[in-house]
Amino acid sequence: MNATRTPPSQRLVTRARALTVDEAAGIAWLGALQHDERERALSDLKVVQVSAGELLCRVGRPATYWFGVIDGLLKMSNDTAMGIPITFTGIPPGGWFGEGTVIKREAYRYNIQALRKSVVAGLSVEAFHWLIERSIPFNRFITQQLNERLGQFIGAREIDRMTDADGRVARSLAALFHPVLYPGVGGLLRITQLELGYLVGLSRQRVNEALQALQAAGLIAVEYGGVRVLDLERLRGFGQS
């Protein structure tokens, strides 16, 4: 079918709409822009709702938008040479991603898939580069994003090498509470044990055991529909020798 040959972002754009006032207020980098820069961004930004399991970006497709999560939860992943799926990170509310790919105008080297029904904003590649060429505040934001993302992926490699399941869950949870990359999360991350299992590569039952252990240690509180972090620094260091 022709639909399978169409880039996901191109299909999604037919369902896109303008941002609401509340959605715009929740995008941290917009508030730092000068008036004309902000107006340019607002006139370009679009919002779309994606269903659970739907792909937003696909490996090998050209980047057409820089994306950010308004609500929901996405997964960044790829397949190994042996066809085994590997998850790089989850992307909760407030997270913007793909700036490196957009800057270089490259094809995606990862898949972005919705783990649940999510609302995602997109800024076109053209508007992104317009801001890069003119806006000091925007450049500062992107530089910080790239720096924090590098640290995040170094941490992800460490998690991949961990054999202790409790430690994997702890460190993966801590990454989702990153205050710079994911400012929309706050103190409570709305995530199910099944979703966390997809991100960590463990069964729901094993994730449940890990969460109970972390709660008993006073690091988190498991609440209805989500997880609240009580001690982020200890959670980040959990499992270190």
C-alpha gyration radius of the chain? 18
Whether 209 shows a pLDDT value over 70: the answer reads: yes
pLDDT bracket for residue 164 (50, 70, 90): confident
Question: In angstroms, rounded to a whole number, what is the distance separating the alpha carbons of residues 111 and 77?
Answer: 5
**Domain 163-237, CATH:** 1.10.10.10
Contact between residue 174 and residue 235 where contact means Cβ atoms under 8 Å apart: yes
Question: In angstroms, rounded to a whole number, what is the distance separating the alpha carbons of residues 105 and 128?
Answer: 11
Distance of CA 17 to the CA centre of its chain: 21
Lowest mean pLDDT among 71-85, 151-165, 221-235: 151-165
For 103-161, write each residue's pLDDT tens digit: 999 999 889 999 999 999 999 999 999 999 999 999 999 999 998 888 777 666 666 66
Over residues 187-193, mean pLDDT: 91
Question: In angstroms, rounded to a whole number, what is the distance separating the alpha carbons of residues 116 and 137?
Answer: 32
Sole residue written with tokens 């109970």: 212
In the structure encoding, which two tokens stand for residue 210, read together? Answer: 């890990």
Over residues 56-61, mean pLDDT: 91
Q: Where in the chain is the domain with CATH 1.10.10.10?
A: 163-237
Work out the end-to-end distance of the chain between its first and last CA atoms, rounded to an integer number of angstroms.
52
Strand 118-124 to 111-114 pairing: unpaired
**What fold, for 2-153?**
Jelly Rolls (2.60.120)
Strand 85-91 to 220-223 pairing: unpaired
Contact between residue 92 and residue 189 where contact means Cβ atoms under 8 Å apart: yes
The kind and range of the H/E element at 118 are strand 118-124
Over residues 76-81, mean pLDDT: 73
pLDDT bracket for residue 3 (50, 70, 90): very low
Sole residue written with tokens 């450049």: 139
More confident call, 3 vs 37: 37
Question: In angstroms, rounded to a whole number, what is the distance separating the alpha carbons of residues 34 and 185?
Answer: 26
Laid out side by side, the sheet with 46-50 consists of 46-50, 118-124, 65-71, 96-97
- The pLDDT score that the predictor gives to residue 152 is 75
More confident call, 45 vs 180: 45
pLDDT bracket for residue 102 (50, 70, 90): very high
CB atoms within 10 A of CB 77: 18
Whether 94 shows a pLDDT value over 80: the answer reads: yes
DSSP state of 107: B
pLDDT bracket for residue 1 (50, 70, 90): very low
More confident call, 90 vs 129: 129
Contact between residue 19 and residue 121 where contact means Cβ atoms under 8 Å apart: yes
More confident call, 171 vs 9: 171
More confident call, 156 vs 229: 229
Q: Where in the chain is the domain with CATH 2.60.120.10?
A: 2-153
- The pLDDT score that the predictor gives to residue 151 is 79
